Chain A
Amino acid sequence: MSYMKMLTAGCTALAISAGGAFAQDAETKVIGVSIPAATHGWAGGMNFHAQQTVKRLEEVYPQLDFVLATASDPGKQVNDIEDMVATRGIDALVVLPFESDPLTPPVQAVAESGVWVTVVDRGLSVEGISDLYVAGDNPGFGRVSGEYMVSMMPEGGKIVVLRGIPTTIDNERVDGFKAAIEGSGIEIIDMEHGNWNRDDSFDVMQDFLSKHEQIDAVWASDDDMAVGVLAAIDAAGRDDVKFVLGGAGMKEMVKRVMDGDTMIPADVTYPPSMIATAIEMTAVGLTSNAPVSGTFTIGSVLITPENAAQFYYPDSPF
């Protein structure tokens, strides 16, 4: 899949550059986009938005070429970036690092060679490398989720929490969440890693239900995990759990919020479309005089039945 996409993207870029070669030879600039492969729901959505944006921008800006590469591990991502610099002579790099540490030195080398660098979502380990940083707000994601829990349970209550894959992202979210519920009377009675995976979270939730007599609500912290949690609650036939709060903004979950499902009363965004923001802003930076350097933080927003329609993308795979 990743190779195919890369190939298609590469071919399109080649076709366009060949077509435009007569008109504006020296003017053509190349933007390299390097992202992790679609190995889970959120990354799938991110891949979708990256492809959509590249397709759209190629029509808007005839003077821009795009190279899109998806990597299944940090090592491959480093190779991708090196290839882009060596064989395509990119003018700008948009990178969503697989992991911060291994990607920092190669991206730093690219930046030092004079290429514009846009970093998305995860920051690099050394500051000051990127010209533009489009950041997701992980502590904010946890905080918004926590504040919603507090608003739903003013009397306090017992909740269980499913965490993602042990990473900085997960820690920042959970810390933000804990800070937001502090002193509210909401007690986290159990916490385990569901690894942002439906099957794992199903197993963990089944065991939570065996272990605890009373669970008032669940912070699944991710929509894929919420799917597993809901199935486990359903199978156990328990009615003590009032609601499940997921996160990220998967279309099925947004739909349920929109339809007024009481088990899924809200969702918190961590939009995979932030890659689109990054590519668009980079294109603007390359083609106009508008300044785009700095940090652009994409806030996590609470999706409620009232505003859910704005966050519903039926065509996206996520």
Chain B
Amino acid sequence: MMTSETTAAKPRWALPSMSVLGPVIALVVLVVIGTMLNSNFLSAANITNVLARSAFIGIIAVGMTFVITAGGLDLSVGSMAAFIAGLMILVMNAALPSLGVGVPIILLGMAVALLAGIIAGLINGFLITTLGIEAFIVTLGTMGIYRSLVTWMADGGTLSLDFGLRTFYRPVYFDGIFGISWPIIVFALAVIVGEILMSRARFGRHCAATGSNEHVAHYSNVNVNRTRLYTYAMLGLLVGVATIMYVPRLGSASASTGVLWELEAIAAVIIGGTILKGGFGRVWGTVIGVLILSMIDNILNLTDLVSPYLNGTIQGVIIILAVILQREAKAKS
């Protein structure tokens, strides 16, 4: 709340404050460390790998930024992604005899994913806004529901896309245009649209107002419930988009798909400078947060400096450091 006021009060063209620079500095430091430790770090192939694998969490985290900015939370996104992936595979496999391998069946799969995502998001949003149940409880519930549904659909095993279909669909993850792979392009588009919505459009201001102070927002003629509902629906839609990019990679979904994605997405949002209590959000900051998280993994894999047992420790320390850097900076300014 405080930050939103201070930011709003500042002239737009002032030098960026440390709260803005904090995550950027953390990212730059990581890139420098990565380059020093391994010469392949900045190679096109490695950069593509890191960006492409960030895309799933990244696309979801863009939606999560809006939900958190509006004062909500969604723990169900990882399970939801697994469920939608499973549903998509089942539908595409079932439609294979009638549609055959081709573009229509891929479009059908994509439509199923987007529709399922929006519906799942609307269900979360409806329970939270209309029925007034705590977002934490609702999404904890749906998290368990989707996780067990995907286990049930897969009969405890793994759902696999038909081999021919997979080969046909595979380029959606691995190919691209002008040497940039599709997941990176889709991620970038989601970020650009998200950034415009957040900082230039009325919807972004309504989200911030809702998360900042629900009652004041209400008296300022902001439809608080509808704004919240839209954020969850939008997040659901983006989970669907992420799933569309995820399924062609390995062509399978199981109970272990998307485990802990919700926490990674929330961590990325917070590292990026969005306030967990709501009221202020920064989409581009979320992107930095996502990149920091996946770059740590990448660097740890590329070096032998620390025992693999300690990967979690390094991640935890860097996440906390990145946030401390911002707080320190805020205190100074």
* Bound Cα distance from A252 to B157, whole angstroms: 12
Q: A38-B255, A198-B250 are in contact. Are A191 and B157 (CB under 8 A)?
A: no
Answer yes or no: B223 CB below 8 A from chain A CBs: no
Interface residues of B in 134-152 (CB under 8 A from A): 148, 151-152
Answer yes or no: B315 CB below 8 A from chain A CBs: no
* Bound Cα distance from A186 to B151, whole angstroms: 39
Q: A227-B250, A318-B157 are in contact. Are A197 and B256 (CB under 8 A)?
A: yes
State whether B154 touches A203 (Cβ < 8 A). no
* Bound Cα distance from A163 to B281, whole angstroms: 39
CB distance from A238 to the nearest CB of B (A): 10
State whether B301 touches A317 (Cβ < 8 A). no
* Bound Cα distance from A192 to B301, whole angstroms: 7
Band of interface residues on B: 20 to 34
CB distance from B179 to the nearest CB of A (A): 14
Partner of A1, one of B43, B152, B158, B174: B152
Kindly list chain A residues whose C-beta atoms are within 8 Å of the C-beta of B311.
193
CB distance from A211 to the nearest CB of B (A): 5
State whether A1 touches B156 (Cβ < 8 A). yes
Kindly list chain B residues whose C-beta atoms are within 8 Å of the C-beta of A37.
151, 156
CB distance from B267 to the nearest CB of A (A): 17
* Bound Cα distance from A202 to B40, whole angstroms: 18
State whether B301 touches A211 (Cβ < 8 A). yes
Q: A190-B304, A211-B38 are in contact. Are A43 and B49 (CB under 8 A)?
A: no
Partner of B155, one of A208, A227, A317: A317
Kindly list chain B residues whose C-beta atoms are within 8 Å of the C-beta of A202.
249-250
State whether A210 touches B45 (Cβ < 8 A). yes
Kindly list chain A residues whose C-beta atoms are within 8 Å of the C-beta of B304.
190
State whether A203 touches B250 (Cβ < 8 A). no
Per DSSP, chain A at the interface is helix
Answer yes or no: B327 CB below 8 A from chain A CBs: no
State whether A207 touches B252 (Cβ < 8 A). no
Residue of A nearest to B303 (CB): A211
Among B154, B155, B156, B252: residue with most chain A CB under 10 A:
B156
Q: A190-B304, A231-B249 are in contact. Are A40 and B254 (CB under 8 A)?
A: yes
* Interface flags, A224-242, vs B, CB<8A=1, else 0: 1001100100011000000
State whether B250 touches A228 (Cβ < 8 A). yes
Kindly list chain B residues whose C-beta atoms are within 8 Å of the C-beta of A228.
250
State whether A210 touches B250 (Cβ < 8 A). no
CB distance from A33 to the nearest CB of B (A): 15
Answer yes or no: B11 CB below 8 A from chain A CBs: no
* Bound Cα distance from A183 to B53, whole angstroms: 38
State whether B156 touches A210 (Cβ < 8 A). no
Answer yes or no: A39 CB below 8 A from chain B CBs: yes
Residue of B nearest to A190 (CB): B304
Q: A166-B309, A191-B308, A228-B250 are in contact. Are A210 and B40 (CB under 8 A)?
A: yes
Partner of A210, one of B174, B297, B302: B302
* Interface flags, A199-224, vs B, CB<8A=1, else 0: 10011101110110000000000001
* Bound Cα distance from A163 to B301, whole angstroms: 13
* Bound Cα distance from A198 to B43, whole angstroms: 24
CB distance from B257 to the nearest CB of A (A): 7
State whether A317 touches B249 (Cβ < 8 A). no
State whether B252 touches A227 (Cβ < 8 A). yes
State whether A48 touches B301 (Cβ < 8 A). no
Partner of B252, one of A44, A198, A203, A211: A198
Partner of A317, one of B46, B158, B256, B308: B158
Answer yes or no: B4 CB below 8 A from chain A CBs: no
State whether B156 touches A38 (Cβ < 8 A). yes
Kindly list chain A residues whose C-beta atoms are within 8 Å of the C-beta of B302.
207, 210-211
Answer yes or no: B213 CB below 8 A from chain A CBs: no
State whether B151 touches A39 (Cβ < 8 A). yes
Besides A1-B148, A199-B250, A317-B154, 16 more A-B contacts (Cβ < 8 Å) are A1-B152, A44-B156, A44-B254, A48-B155, A48-B156, A199-B256, A199-B257, A203-B53, A203-B301, A207-B298, A210-B43, A211-B301, A227-B250, A227-B252, A228-B250, A235-B174
Which 9 A-B residue pairings sit nearest by Cβ, starting from the closest? A38-B156, A317-B157, A44-B156, A207-B301, A44-B157, A1-B152, A317-B155, A210-B46, A47-B156
> Could you jot down 18 A-B contacts, CB within 8 Å?
A1-B151, A38-B255, A39-B151, A40-B255, A44-B158, A47-B156, A190-B304, A193-B311, A203-B49, A203-B298, A204-B301, A207-B302, A210-B45, A224-B256, A231-B249, A236-B45, A317-B154, A318-B158
**Interface residues, chain A, with chain B CB atoms under 8 Å away:** 1-2, 4, 37-41, 43-45, 47-48, 163, 166, 190-193, 196-199, 202-204, 206-208, 210-211, 224, 227-228, 231, 235-236, 252, 316-318
